[in-house]
Each structure stands twice: as structure tokens, then as C-alpha cells.
Chain A
Amino acid sequence: EAQVTQNPRYLITVTGKKLTVTCSQNMNHEYMSWYRQDPGLGLRQIYYSMNVEVTDKGDVPEGYKVSRKEKRNFPLILESPSPNQTSLYFCASSPLTLVRPDSPLHFGNGTRLTVT
């Protein structure tokens, strides 16, 4: 089954304790992206990757890191989480490329992160 898999689904942590949220897709998509969803703000893009070893900042990259060492995986790293990073996070992948910019996103089921 074609899917985007995020882990964990729920995570509670404390301020400053490094964490990683994993994301994997099995559709051989070039494009992957991370979003955070907050009430009243919709989805805001954190980072995206057009291909392996290529990553770019979205609208809210501060406090986050990503890496794209292989096509299927795109982990989100919070080196020193803070309470304002408490949010619902979504990973997405797409066949989107510069010559196929209308390709839709396929989303994972989300990771709800709480930082105390």
C-alpha cells in the first residue's frame, strides 16, 4: 500500500531534550516536506526537499533541522525543543518536480508533539 509513515504518533517531552520524528514514503517520490498545524493558522511549511541531499527552508524553519540522505526518508529533528514547538506535525511526499509543479501531496497521519 502506498503510504507516508510517521513515527511516533504521539510524543511528550521536556524542554531541551533532543528528539527526532521519522518520516518514510514508499512511492519513490522526489519531493518531501514537513508542516506544522496550529489552530487558526492552518498548515505552515517547515522544510522541504526536492531531491536527495537537497533541502530548503519553508516559512517556519527556526528550531528545526532536516536531512535527506536517501529518497524514502526525511526525518525532522528538534535539537532543543521548546514549548512553542508544541504542535501537530505532518510529513508529506509528492511526485512534484519543477516540471510537474501541480502534483498533489500525500500526507502521513501526523505526530502530535507536546513540549513541557
Chain B
Amino acid sequence: AQSVTQLGSHVSVSEGALVLLRCNYSSSVPPYLFWYVQYPNQGLQLLLKYTSAATLVKGINGFEAEFKKSETSFHLTKPSAHMSDAAEYFCAVSDQGGKLIFGQGTELSVKP
């Protein structure tokens, strides 16, 4: 069965600093992995997805994630945080049969 673990329920960075949000997964089949972002009082929006075409995936708003099979990780990074990046971020894995499993979420705060 698939599962997702996000390390750190809250991450705080200063504006301009590196953003690193951690995600580890387990999957019995080659995984499809996603990062979603949720702004206050809104639904989730897709940031990026991994589909085995390339291990480094670029998404919207300057975010990217690297798939590392040996570490079963799919960490999300952004070189320079902006105030508008403050939101909750969710990592998710698909079992290819219609079930999408989400992690617990990481709330990102950006300090001026």
C-alpha cells in the first residue's frame, strides 16, 4: 500500500531564504508523485508532478522537486522564498488505480 510522510508540520523561513519541504513515500509500484498548495480558504492547486520522465521536476511559482528513488523522497524546494509563498503544502502519491494518498501537510510561514 502507498503512504506519504511529510517531515515537519510547520516550516518557517525568512523572505529570500531557501525553502525545503520534505516528503518521503512508500509504494509497491512505480509511483506518480504530486505536490499541491493550499492558500487560506481555498481548495488545493497543483504545483508539480513526477511521472518518471525526469527526476527533477519544475513547477509553478519557481518551485521544483527532485525524485530520488534510492531515498524514496520527493522534496520540494524554492531558492528564494516570497511572502506570497505562505500556504500549506501537501505531497501525494497515486496508486495508479484511482486512489490518491496525501501527506499530513506542511504549513510554510515566510517572515519579512
Interface, chain A (partner B; CB < 8 A): 4, 31, 33, 35, 40-45, 48, 50, 56, 58-59, 90, 92, 96, 98, 101-102, 104-105, 107-110
Contacts and interface: CB of A to CB of B under 8 A. Distances in A.
Contacts, number: 63
Contact of B103 (A31, A42, A109): A42
Contacts of B105: 42-43
A113 to B, nearest CB: 15
B44 A105 contact: yes
Given A101-B32, A102-B49, A109-B43, A42 B104 contact: yes
Interface residues of B, number: 26
B99 A45 contact: yes
Pairs of residues from A and B, 7 with the lowest C-beta to C-beta distance, nearest first: A107-B43, A43-B102, A101-B96, A104-B46, A102-B51, A42-B104, A42-B102
Interface of B: 6, 9, 32, 34, 36, 41-46, 49, 51, 90, 92, 94, 96-105
A107 B44 contact: yes
A56 B42 contact: no
B45 A98 contact: no
Contact of A4 (B9, B36, B43, B96): B43
